[in-house]
C-alpha cells in the first residue's frame, strides 16, 4: 500500500467502526453463525464497540455455535465462552452447538485440551441452555471415547445434574457407545423432549453396542426423535421401528432410517400400538421398511413418508412390491386418516397407484413417482371409478415424478374449480424443475398437442398439465 492510499484506508476503517449498532448487530449475528466465534470473542475483549453489541444482541446467544479444529487452544476457547456467557447473563440462551471440523481429513484427531470442554459442559455450562448439539465430523474414534467419558462423568456427578434442563439433544458422530451402567438416555436427560442421533456405522468391537443397544432409546418424555444409523448384521435382527414406538409412549414425530443390508434376517416382532404419533418419516431398504410398517398400529397417524436410502437404486433395493400393501394394511388396522403421503422415491405402477389412491380418500397432499412407461391410465381408472363413488374428495395437492423424463408435474387444487392451462389467483398450476426436454407427453398423451409438444417444452408441460388436472377434477367430482 502506498503512502497516498493509507489515509483513505484509515478513513474506511473509521467509517466501519462508526456504523450504527443495529447494523453491527446484524454483522455480528452472521459472523457468529459461522466459524469465527473465538475471533469475535477476542475482538470484543479489545474493542468496546463490538463488546457493547455482543452484550446487546440476543440472536447471538439464542443459538451459539462453537467450532473447533485440530489446532484450537481449547483451554482459551472455554475461558472465553465462560467469560462472555457470564457477562451476557441478561440475555436468554437456548442452544449451544459444539462442532469439530476436520477440514479435508476424515481422520483428523481431536485437539488437545478436550477435557476442559467436558468440564465446561458438566460444571460450567450456562444453566439457561436448553438445547445441546455435539457434532463430530470425520471418522476419528477419539470422539466416541470422549463422549463416553463425558456421560460417565455426568453419571458420577449426581449433585450437579448437568443435563436436567436440557430439552433437546443432537449427537452426530462416526460411532457411539454409552457407559456400561446406562440403560437409557433418560438417566442422563430426564426432561428430554427431542432426541436426534446420527451415526455412520455400528459394528462389533470394543466401542460398539450389543444387540440390545437400541433399548437406550426408551425415553418416556420424548415427543420427537430422529434416528439415522447404518445397521449391520449383528444389529439388524431387531425390528427398530416397532421397538422405538413401543418404548416411547409420548412420541409424536419420528424420522427413522432403516439402512440394513440384511433384511431377510429381521426377526418377528410383536405388533405394537402407539396412540400419539402423527408423523412418520421412514427411509432405507424398501423390504425392511415394508416389513416393519405392517407391525405397527398408529390411530392418529396423518403424515407418512417412505424414501429409499440415498445410496441405493430403487430397482435394486428389495423392490417396492410390498410397500403399497403394507401401507394399506397399516392404515386399515390403525383406522387412521392419512392426509399427507410421500412416496416420491418409490416407483409405482398404474395399478399400485390406483389401489393406493382409491383406498385413501382422506389424502390431501400426495407425492408419487411412476415409471417412465406409465401411460396415465391411472387417471382414466379414477375417472371411471368416480362415476359410481367419490374418489379423492379431499385432494388438494399432487406431485407426479416420471422416472424416465426427469421432470416433475405439480398440480394444485384450491377452491371449487381447478385452473386450466393458465395461472389464476388462488387456482394456479405450478410447474417446477425442468431438467431435460424429454417428451413428457408420453406420460399423458393429448393428440391435439403432440405436434407443438415436440417443438417447445412449454407446450409439452401445458398439455400434460391440462389433461392431468382435468381428470383429477373429474375424479374428485368437481368438473
pLDDT tens by residue, 20-40:
666 666 666 665 555 457 777
Most confident of 210-214, 315-319, 457-461: 210-214
Write the DSSP string, 233-288.
TTTTTS-HHHHHHHH-TT--EEEEEEEES-GGGPPP---EE-SS--EEEEEE-HHH
**Whether the Cβ atoms of residue 200 and residue 230 lie closer than 8 Å to each other:** yes
Strand runs labelled E in 331-435: 340-348, 365-370, 397-402, 407-412, 429-434
The whole-angstrom separation of Cα 256 and Cα 288 is: 12
Polymer length in residues for the chain:
479
| pTM given for the model | 0.70
Report whether pLDDT(260) > 50.
yes
Percent of the chain scoring above 90 in pLDDT: 7
In the predicted model, what is the mean pLDDT of residues 453-464? 33
Amino acid at each position: 500500500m502506498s503512502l497516498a492510499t493509507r489515509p483513505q484506508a484509515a478513513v474506511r476503517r473509521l467509517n466501519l467502526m462508526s456504523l450504527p449498532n443495529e447494523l453491527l448487530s446484524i454483522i455480528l449475528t452472521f459472523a457468529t453463525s459461522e466459524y469465527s466465534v473465538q475471533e469475535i470473542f477476542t475482538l470484543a475483549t479489545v474493542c468496546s464497540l463490538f463488546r457493547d453489541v455482543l452484550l446487546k444482541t440476543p440472536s447471538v446467544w439464542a443459538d451459539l455455535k462453537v467450532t473447533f479444529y485440530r489446532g484450537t487452544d481449547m483451554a482459551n476457547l472455554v475461558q472465553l465462552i465462560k467469560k462472555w456467557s457470564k457477562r451476557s447473563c441478561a440475555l436468554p440462551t437456548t442452544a449451544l452447538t459444539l462442532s469439530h471440523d476436520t477440514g479435508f481429513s476424515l481422520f483428523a484427531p481431536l485437539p488437545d485440551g478436550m477435557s476442559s470442554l467436558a468440564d465446561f459442559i458438566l460444571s460450567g455450562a450456562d444453566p439457561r441452555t436448553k438445547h445441546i448439539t455435539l457434532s463430530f465430523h470425520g471418522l476419528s474414534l477419539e470422539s466416541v471415547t470422549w463422549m463416553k467419558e463425558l456421560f460417565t462423568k455426568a453419571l458420577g456427578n449426581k449433585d450437579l445434574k448437568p443435563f436436567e434442563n436440557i430439552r433437546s439433544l443432537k449427537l452426530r458422530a462416526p460411532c457411539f457407545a454409552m457407559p456400561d451402567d446406562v440403560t437409557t438416555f433418560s438417566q442422563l436427560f430426564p426432561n428430554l423432549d427431542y432426541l436426534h442421533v446420527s451415526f455412520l456405522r455400528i459394528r462389533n468391537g470394543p466401542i460398539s453396542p450389543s444387540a440390545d443397544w437400541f433399548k437406550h432409546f426408551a425415553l418416556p418424555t420424548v415427543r420427537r426423535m430422529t434416528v439415522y444409523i447404518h445397521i449391520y448384521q449383528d444389529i439388524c435382527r431387531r425390528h427398530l421401528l416397532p421397538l422405538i414406538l413401543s418404548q416411547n409412549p409420548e412420541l409424536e414425530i419420528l424420522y427413522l432410517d432403516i439402512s440394513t443390508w440384511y433384511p431377510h434376517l429381521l426377526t418377528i416382532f410383536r405388533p405394537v400400538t402407539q396412540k400419539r404419533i402423527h408423523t412418520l418419516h421412514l427411509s432405507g431398504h424398501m423390504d425392511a421398511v415394508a416389513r416393519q410398517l405392517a407391525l405397527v398400529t398408529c390411530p392418529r397417524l396423518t403424515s407418512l413418508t417412505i424414501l429409499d436410502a440415498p445410496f441405493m437404486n430403487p430397482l435394486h433395493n428389495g423392490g417396492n412390491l410390498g410397500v403399497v400393501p403394507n401401507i394399506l394394511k397399516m392404515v386399515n388396522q390403525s383406522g387412521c386418516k392419512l392426509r399427507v403421503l410421500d412416496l416420491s422415491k418409490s416407483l409405482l405402477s398404474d395399478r399400485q397407484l390406483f389401489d393406493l389412491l382409491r383406498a385413501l380418500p382422506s389424502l390431501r397432499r400426495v407425492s408419487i413417482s411412476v415409471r417412465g412407461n406409465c401411460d396415465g391410465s391411472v387417471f382414466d381408472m379414477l375417472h371411471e371409478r368416480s362415476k359410481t363413488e367419490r374418489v379423492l374428495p379431499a385432494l388438494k395437492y399432487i406431485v407426479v415424478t416420471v422416472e424416465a423424463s426427469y421432470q416433475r408435474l405439480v398440480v394444485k387444487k384450491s377452491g371449487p374449480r381447478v385452473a386450466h392451462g393458465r395461472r389464476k389467483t388462488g387456482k394456479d398450476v405450478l410447474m417446477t424443475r425442468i431438467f431435460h426436454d424429454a417428451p413428457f407427453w408420453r406420460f399423458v398423451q393429448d393428440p391435439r398437442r403432440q405436434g407443438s409438444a415436440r417443438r417447445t417444452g412449454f407446450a409439452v408441460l401445458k398439455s400434460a398439465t391440462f389433461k392431468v388436472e382435468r381428470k383429477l377434477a373429474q375424479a374428485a367430482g368437481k368438473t
